[in-house]
Amino acid sequence: MLELAPEDQAQIDAAAKVLRAVQTAMPLGILMFAGVACFIGATHPAATDADDVPTILSGLHAMFAVGCCVAAVIVPRVPIKQLPSQASLAVILSALRSGTIIRLALLEGAALMGLCTLMVAGTGGQLAAHPVLYANLLTSVAFVGFAFGTLPNRDDLRERVHRIRADAALAMDS
């Protein structure tokens, strides 16, 4: 286990609390929106006319979700890679917080597009006629699972800070 000064440990504890709060609040909004979208879909009668809009939106949602997932892996690394080699703990924690929020926002965007597609289909009665459109919920389920499954704790943050500092030391030596 990595040992840090008590003041550094206090900073890491505070950062972990902030990240847990953010990472808990974002999926709760998605869960509420999903409940509304499913309620709308369940209460509207099946449409009798064919409407291609939900199908087109579902295809766009799938492409958007893939793009967001790829970006969620790449983009959050940017603030960490831009850190100076002798960055303070506060700066490192700020970069980690920024990267986490960027990652969550990208994944939340894909989830929201799926829920909006679901609402469009629900208000048009397409969900009752074509239940396969409920597949647009998959990005929301994945986002909620990811957010709750990766809640940070102080040991995780301490390890990440140590890894960032070790990488910076290696970069300085080369």
Q: What is the distance between the alpha carbons of residues 117 and 78, in angstroms, rounded to a whole number? A: 31
* 86, amino acid identity: Q
Enter the pTM of the model: 0.88
Residue 173: is its pLDDT beyond 80?
no
The two structure tokens encoding residue 116 = 């909006």
The two structure tokens encoding residue 135 = 């597949």
pLDDT digits (tens, 9 = 90+) for 79-124: 888 888 888 999 999 999 999 999 999 999 999 999 999 999 988 8
* 140, amino acid identity: S
- Cα within 13 Å of Cα(6), Cβ side: 0
DSSP letter for 131, please: G
Phi, psi of 28 (to 5 degrees): -65, -40
pLDDT digits (tens, 9 = 90+) for 47-86: 777 778 899 999 999 999 999 999 999 999 998 888 888 8
pLDDT digits (tens, 9 = 90+) for 7-56: 888 999 999 999 999 999 999 999 999 999 999 888 888 877 777 889 99
**Contact assessment for residue 127 and residue 44, using Cβ atoms and an 8 Å cutoff:** yes
- In this prediction, residue 2 has a pLDDT band, given cuts at 50, 70 and 90, of low
Residue 125: is its pLDDT beyond 60?
yes
Phi, psi of 52 (to 5 degrees): -85, -10
Sorted by where each begins, the domain ranges of the chain are 10-45+64-173
